[in-house]
Amino acid sequence: MSAPLLSVAGLCVSYGRVEAVRDVSITVAPGAIVTILGPNGAGKTSLLGAVMGVLRSRGTLAFAGAPIERRAVERRVADGMCLVPEKRELFVTMSVEDNLRLGGFRRRASSDYGATLDRMWTLFPRLKERRAQMAGTLSGGERQMLAMARALMSGPKLLMLDEPSLGLAPLIVRDIFRIVAELRDSGVSILLVEQNARAALELADYGYVLENGSVVLEGPAAALRQDERVIAAYLGIRSVAT
């Protein structure tokens, strides 16, 4: 097995007396999609925030073989980590293209900026059609695409997505998950937090189930899809589309 790209061990995040993440250990192999499932309040967002460095945590974090606990967020971005938060956090009064320019500001002076922008237009043709439109006027699905494209402008090795399907129609979710698979095929590793367990386990290589801040189950996604506890808690209700 190749060395993990991301390795998290014994991670804890607290908000005052609330322990949101307790002794969590996960790894993401290069080129893998790893999903984190779990109910509301399980600690999924806090886990991503700690990995990205926007939240304080205890425990060990290693990226591409190097310890990163003491690295600031900016340094983690420069190293190749990127987080698309659940709220998508776009610059709503700026155009689609200007949002992407900001995502790629580190590259703007370099010659591959134009190539990266072109690649985004290929991955997200809907965004290309709307390149001059104000981000605040995009649909929910288009906003999610723009948030992902903006993150990708920094050329990450690891893309962390917090509930990319939240509030989106099934057809758009399918589109977004197809793009996530394409990104993995192009060599980007993905850490995917999802409420849509069925879709996430179909896409992912490996999964963890987080409950009350702790990992209660983990395994290859194919095995989790067959696990009775996962079926009962997360896959019990079949969606209309299946």
Closer residue to ligand ATP in complex, CB, 39/125? 39
Q: Residue 46, interface with ligand ATP (CB under 6 A)?
A: yes
Task: Fill in the per-residue mask, 4 to 33: x = in contact with ligand ATP (CB under 6 A), - = not in contact.
Answer: -----------x--x-x-------------
Q: How far is the CB of 162 from ligand ATP (least distance, A)?
A: 7
Concatenated DSSP letters of 144-204: HHHHHHHHHTT--SEEEEE-TTTT--HHHHHHHHHHHHHHHHTT-EEEEE-S-HHHHHHH-
Residue 56, CA distances (Å) to 89, 124, 237 in order: 21, 34, 36
Residue 42 vs 190, nearer CB to ligand ATP: 42
> Which residue lies nearer to ligand ATP by CB, 38 or 103?
38
Please identify, among the stretches 36-44, 87-95, 119-127, 199-207, the one whose residues bind ligand ATP according to the rule CB under 6 A. Answer: 36-44
Would you say the C-alpha torsion 3, 12, 151, 71 has a positive or negative sign? negative
| Closer residue to ligand ATP, CB minimum distance, 127 or 160 | 160
Strands (E), 16-130: 18-28, 33-37, 58-63, 66-67, 81-84
Which residues are at the interface with ligand ATP (CB under 6 A)?
A: 15, 18, 20, 38, 40-46
